[in-house]
Amino acid sequence: MGRWDQRAIPNPAFGACRGSIHCLLRRGRSAVFRTWAGLVVESAKALKPVSHRQPIRIADRHRFDCLIDARTPEEFELDHIPGAINCPVLDNEERVRIGTIYKQVSPFEAKRLGAAMVSANLARHLHETFADKPANWKPLVYCWRGGLRSGSMVTWLRLVGWDAQQLAGGYKSYRGHVVEQIETLAPQLQLRVLCGATGSAKTRVLHALEQAGAQVLDLEGYARHKGSLLGNLPGVEQPSQKYFETLLVQQLQAMDLSRPIYVEGESVKIGRICLPLVLVKHMRTSPVIEVRATPEARLAYLLRDYAYLGDDPAALAEKLGWLKELQGKEAVMRWQAWAHEGQLSPLFAELMRLHYDPHYERSQEKHFVQWPGRISLATDDLGERGIEELARRILSPA
């Protein structure tokens, strides 16, 4: 069995047990090892420093000087907590490489190589992004779910001397917070839904209402899309579904729920963005204000607001091709010819008359419960002054 000497037992952690060692030796090797292992564990617990830091929740994130997203740039672009800066501990390619090694080689090899990559990236952040931070700087760090990526950064920042902390549950917990907030806040909104046929300048009226001090929910602005077949903005990508919802919640949390909130009547989708169903349902039971502009005023507005479509005739013609099943080959071919020739005026006029207007009233009556009791505002001017006047009439009804 070898020689066991009571002097080898650490003092003071094991001192109280000296008298029982010879008794244990008589009982056999297994009893000695069990007791020794238990004493080591208890000693380690006694010597381990107790951290004063508590898990940081979503509601406490504003108490920190900086919010750091340690995920990859690709993850950050898809969605992130508002106000966060991206300081990845692994870039896009590194994360893919480590994941592949983890599955195809071994977890150990993935962690070994990952540690080297993380260390190099953290060193770069310390030399660059964090180089000017004072000794009392207090950052909050998160990754996907509060694991190794944010944990490794927090460890190094604490070693420097900063009071770095980790967001409990990471981005995943924030995402759950966003979903919960939409479900909770949307039904409480005092919505006033702005409707009107295509070309009625509803978005511009919303902006005029906001400039006049009203609360506005600009869903098309958050979605970066005008909501129609031709609603893509030139050179502007729509956000991810998750980031759209993050922007929406950020706006909802800043609103006074006791005051009216003006919103444009939308379908379930704006481009490829799906509106939360709880918001759509609430919107469709809310009071309606209709902008009833003359066809001439609407056409003039469309020619101003969609003038950029003439810059890419081929792309415009391609989009019009999607209407063949609804409008027939002959009409669409005529529209495509006008698109190639840059004749937007006859094109927009026929799109209004043949495609958008025939279904407008029936669709509004079907989707909006309070459509029969709507406030209707007629106008023949959708220029700047006409839009300001519409906003004034909405805020000061006769």
pLDDT tier for residue 362 given thresholds of 50, 70 and 90: confident
- Residue (of 351, 315, 312, 360) closest to 331 by Cα position: 351
State yes or no: cis peptide before 55, omega within 30 of 0. Answer: no
CATH, domain range 189-395: 3.40.50
- Confidence (pTM): 0.83
- pLDDT at position 360 over 50: yes
Instruction: Out of 66, 87, 143, 195, pick the active-site residue.
Output: 143
pLDDT tier for residue 10 given thresholds of 50, 70 and 90: very low
> Length of the chain, please?
398
C-beta of residue 95 within 8 angstroms of C-beta of residue 147 = no
Decide: helix, strand or coil at residue 262: strand
Q: What is the mean pLDDT of the chain?
A: 88
C-beta of residue 284 within 8 angstroms of C-beta of residue 263 = no
- pLDDT at position 41 over 70: no
Q: Show me where the domains of the chain are located.
A: 6-47, 58-175, 189-395
Q: Could you read off the pLDDT of 248-295 as tens digits, one per residue?
A: 999 999 999 999 999 999 999 999 999 999 999 999 999 999 999 999
Distances (CA, A) of 304 to 10, 228, 249, 275: 85, 16, 32, 28
Contacts of 60 (CB under 8 A, 6+ apart): none
What pLDDT is recorded for position 131? Answer: 96
User: What six digits make up the tokens of 294?
Assistant: 């003359």
Residues 305, 315: Cα–Cα separation, whole Å? 17
Distances (CA, A) of 333 to 33, 232, 317, 345, 353: 88, 21, 9, 16, 17
User: What six digits make up the tokens of 211?
Assistant: 């400039």
- pLDDT at position 18 over 50: no
- Coarse DSSP helix, strand, coil percentages of the chain, rounded to the nearest 5 percent: 60, 10, 30
The CATH topology of domain 58-175 is: Oxidized Rhodanese; domain 1 (3.40.250)
What pLDDT is recorded for position 53? Answer: 67
Angle of CA points 166, 76, 150, to nearest 5°: 20
What sign results for the dihedral spanned by CA atoms 307, 313, 318, 320? Answer: positive
Residues 214, 255: Cα–Cα separation, whole Å? 10
Query: Residue 264 — left, alpha, or beta (φ > 0 → left; ψ -120 to 50 → alpha)?
Result: beta
Please indicate whether residue 87 is annotated as part of the active site: no
Residues 245, 81: Cα–Cα separation, whole Å? 11
